[in-house]
Amino acid sequence: TYPRSTAGMMMQQQRNGRIPVGIGRKRMRIVVTGGAGFVGSHLVDKLIARGDDVIVIDNFFTGRKDNVMHHFGNPRFEMIRHDVVEPILLEVDQIYHLACPASPVHYKYNPVKTIKTNVMGTLNMLGLAKRIGAKFLLTSTSEVYGDPLEHPQKETYWGNVNPIGVRSCYDEGKRTAETLAMDYHRGAGVEVRIARIFNTYGPRMCLDDGRVVSNFVAQAIRKQPLTVYGDGKQTRSFQYVADLVDGLMALMEGEHVGPFNLGNPGEFTMLELAEVVKETIDPSATIEYKENTADDPHKRKPDISKAKDLLNWEPKISLREGLPRMVSDFQNRILNEDEGKGQ
């Protein structure tokens, strides 16, 4: 057990002593777990730009220092190499809990570690939130719906998930993380927020993590065929990362626990996505069909009416607008890789 009352008093004193940011708002201290990753680093950029202090906790499993390096030397930014599976003591106002490998290649690499991150990592961050009275936001996933029997998916749908499959470490892990968040909310009064994120893309995605958008974009740049798994008729809905970051912040600042679907309802088959990538990067790119992976959901599309109504949020950037925004970042990183190989 930890000295809750002393820590609470310290928090209050710190809050009272803080410099106002803008009109009517105190500067906050915010933890972003997984802040060196793809989504986390964009969130960190926006929180720093808003004027808050940000502490990133990351074990660099899939994250990179490059993603946050532009904040090094900024006194409002702090980076801690730490694994959320281990407890940690901090004093903050808000916790954005993102730490967890997100792409199938990464989360299947060590499935037991993925479960530990989702369960023990989330438990530790909720324990931290409880002790210091911080607001806690969990980034859950559309994968909690499994291979959905309801289309599009609403938050009221309980899902169709295989508990013993190769994806279970991730989707059952996130389902347990949601359960933990709700139990800390009901049992300990922690102010929690739950986001169910649908497929998101943008600059800083890992180059070779096997996700479809990063694969297609990297393949088109490298002049390789675009690998379409199965018949390519399965669908996904792709959200640009800046829209997601706006949604996460609206959720944290709002009054509602959720869960909220955060995604772009524009639905594409993988073949349609390949067409958009061709139009954007290289019209001469070819397609190569490959066998699909096990338990691959056939379709996925968010119903976002709840987030529209209660958070006043909806995505603004379409796939055709968003894709070009990640191309130069991918080109630069692929070029650097190639130069590295030549040395």
Q: Which stretch binds ligand NAD (CB under 6 A): 5-13, 58-66, 150-158, 248-256?
A: 58-66
Strand, helix or coil for residue 142: helix
Quote the least distance from Cβ 339 to ligand UDP, whole Å. 25
Q: Which residue is nearest to ligand UDP (CB)?
A: 127
Under the criterion CB under 6 A, does residue 227 sit at the interface with ligand UDP? yes
Cβ-contact 94, 65 below 8 angstroms: no
Cα separations in angstroms, 294 against 27, 164, 215, 247: 47, 12, 18, 31
Residue-by-residue DSSP string for 211-251: -HHHHHHHHHHTT--EEEETTS--EEE-EEHHHHHHHHHHH
Subset of residues 199 to 218 that bind ligand NAD, contact rule: CB under 6 A:
199-200
CB-facing half-sphere around the CA of 325: CA atoms within 13 A: 15
Under the criterion CB under 6 A, does residue 333 sit at the interface with ligand UDP? no
* Closest C-alpha to 175, from 193, 156, 161: 161
Strand, helix or coil for residue 195: strand
Say which entry of ligand UDP, ligand NAD, none residue 89 contacts (CB below 5 to 8 A, set by partner kind).
ligand UDP
Q: Which stretch binds ligand UDP (CB under 6 A): 15-23, 48-56, 249-257, 288-296?
A: 288-296
Q: How far apart are CA 137 and CA 214, in angstroms?
A: 26
Peptide bond into 259 cis (omega under 30): yes
Cα angle value 221/226/232 (rounded, 5°): 145
Q: Is 96 a catalytic residue?
A: no
Quote the least distance from Cβ 83 to ligand NAD, whole Å. 4
Q: Which stretch binds ligand NAD (CB under 6 A): 78-86, 127-135, 156-164, 316-324?
A: 78-86
Tokens at residue 149, please? 């029997």
CB-facing half-sphere around the CA of 204: CA atoms within 13 A: 21
Residue 269 φ then ψ, to 5°: -80, 165
Cβ-contact 252, 135 below 8 angstroms: yes
Residue 26 or residue 82: which is nearer to ligand NAD going by CB?
Answer: 82
> What is the x/- site pattern for ligand UDP, positions 80-119, by CB under 6 A?
-------xxx--------------x---------------
| Among the listed residues 28, 68, 92, 100, the single contact to ligand NAD using CB under 6 A | 100
Under the criterion CB under 6 A, does residue 152 sit at the interface with ligand NAD? no
Cβ-contact 88, 82 below 8 angstroms: yes
Residue 61 or residue 268: which is nearer to ligand NAD going by CB?
Answer: 61
Strand, helix or coil for residue 196: strand
> What is the x/- site pattern for ligand UDP, positions 121-160, by CB under 6 A?
--xx--xx-xx-----------------------------
Q: Which stretch binds ligand NAD (CB under 6 A): 80-88, 224-232, 248-256, 331-339?
A: 80-88
Residue 215 or residue 261: which is nearer to ligand UDP going by CB?
Answer: 215
Q: How far apart are CA 98 and CA 303, in angstroms?
A: 22
Q: Which one of 145, 170, 184, 201 is the catalytic residue?
A: 170
| Among the listed residues 94, 122, 124, 141, the single contact to ligand NAD using CB under 6 A | 141
Q: How far apart are CA 277 and CA 195, in angstroms?
A: 28
Under the criterion CB under 6 A, does residue 121 sit at the interface with ligand NAD? yes
Subset of residues 256 to 275 that bind ligand UDP, contact rule: CB under 6 A:
270
Binding site for ligand NAD (CB under 6 A): 33-34, 36-40, 57-63, 83-85, 98-102, 117, 121, 139, 141, 197, 199-200
Q: What are the residues binding ligand UDP (CB under 6 A)?
A: 2, 87-89, 104, 123-124, 127-128, 130-131, 199, 210-212, 215, 227-229, 234, 236, 270, 292-293, 296
The catalytic residue positions are: 170
